[in-house]
Structure 1
């Protein structure tokens, strides 16, 4: 664990709001030179604090109007490898995230589809046929709030 000063935290907050900002622009905002800012960002990357920058696509504008969260309970944990399930479910293009969780379900999936009929097709033909799938619970996303990350 590296020690983070106020400038490091400010850089992380600024990058979490807009990861496309250049080291020069960030440096000007925080009173640093471009090389000094770049070195700080590189140090945060090497420490694993800043692991990657993600492009956030608007799925609705791309024609995927339905988002569903699935809770999946595996029926036969002993006979089906978790790795096999994760590999198979990750190969489904409509599945955006696969989270192995503790609680009522073994996995939580975020699935996008063009509409409810498309979601039903994905559920019946792709997800329900995966190895070891037992109980499935679905929650359709009605709206989503963007909340700031842990740095504010």
Structure 2
């Protein structure tokens, strides 16, 4: 685990909102020189704080108007192992995330579809035919708000102090 000060947390939050910020822009925003900001970002990368670079797509703009969270309970854990299920579910393009969870279900899937009829097709033809699927529970996403994450509360004070 990396030790972070308030400026580090604020910089990470800023980069999480806009990964294209340059070291110069970060330095100006947080009262640091460009080299000092760059050294902090390099330290974050070396410590594994960042996991790759991603582009967030708007599913609705791409024609996927429905998002469903599926709880999946596997029927058996003997012959059909977790690995078989994981490999098969990852091949379904409509499944955005596969999370192995503890609790009522074994997996939680985030599935996108064009509409409810399209989701039903994906469910019947692809998901329900996966190896080991026992029971399913579906929750349709109505709205989604971005949460600030673990650095939000503490970092907010820093931003006010440096503005």
TM range (shorter): over 0.9
Note the residue ranges of structure 2 that are not aligned, 5 or more in a row: 153-163
* Aligned equivalent of 1:11: 11
* Aligned equivalent of 2:130: 130
* Aligned equivalent of 1:45: 45
Q: Deviations over 1:6-63 (max 9, x none)?
A: 2211111111221221111001111222222122111111111122232111100110
Instruction: Tell me how far 1:101 sits from its aligned partner.
Output: 0.5
Q: Does 1:91 align with 2:91?
A: yes
Instruction: Tell me how far 1:80 sits from its aligned partner.
Output: 1.4
* Aligned equivalent of 1:28: 28
Tell me, in whole angstroms, the C-alpha distance in 2 between the residues paired with 1:2 and 1:99.
26
DSSP 3-state at the match of 1:68: strand
* Farther off after superposition, 124-133 or 4-13: 4-13
Tell me, in whole angstroms, the C-alpha distance in 2 between the residues paired with 1:136 and 1:10.
40
Comparing both chains, which one has the higher relative contact order based on Cα–Cα distances under 8 Å and sequence gaps of 6 or more? 2
DSSP 3-state at the match of 2:137: strand
* Aligned equivalent of 1:151: 151
Where do 4+ consecutive residues of structure 1 move more than 4 Å?
none
Tell me, in whole angstroms, the C-alpha distance in 2 between the residues paired with 1:132 and 1:149.
34
DSSP 3-state at the match of 2:147: coil
- What is the number of residues matched between the two proteins? 152
* Aligned equivalent of 1:109: 109
Note the residue ranges of structure 1 that are not aligned, 5 or more in a row: none
Report which of the two has the higher share of helix: 2
Tell me, in whole angstroms, the C-alpha distance in 2 between the residues paired with 1:92 and 1:71.
16
DSSP 3-state at the match of 1:36: helix
* TM-score of the pair, normalised by structure 1: 0.95
Instruction: Tell me how far 1:79 sits from its aligned partner.
Output: 1.5
DSSP 3-state at the match of 2:78: coil
Tell me, in whole angstroms, the C-alpha distance in 2 between the residues paired with 1:91 and 1:32.
45
* Farther off after superposition, 49-58 or 83-92: 49-58
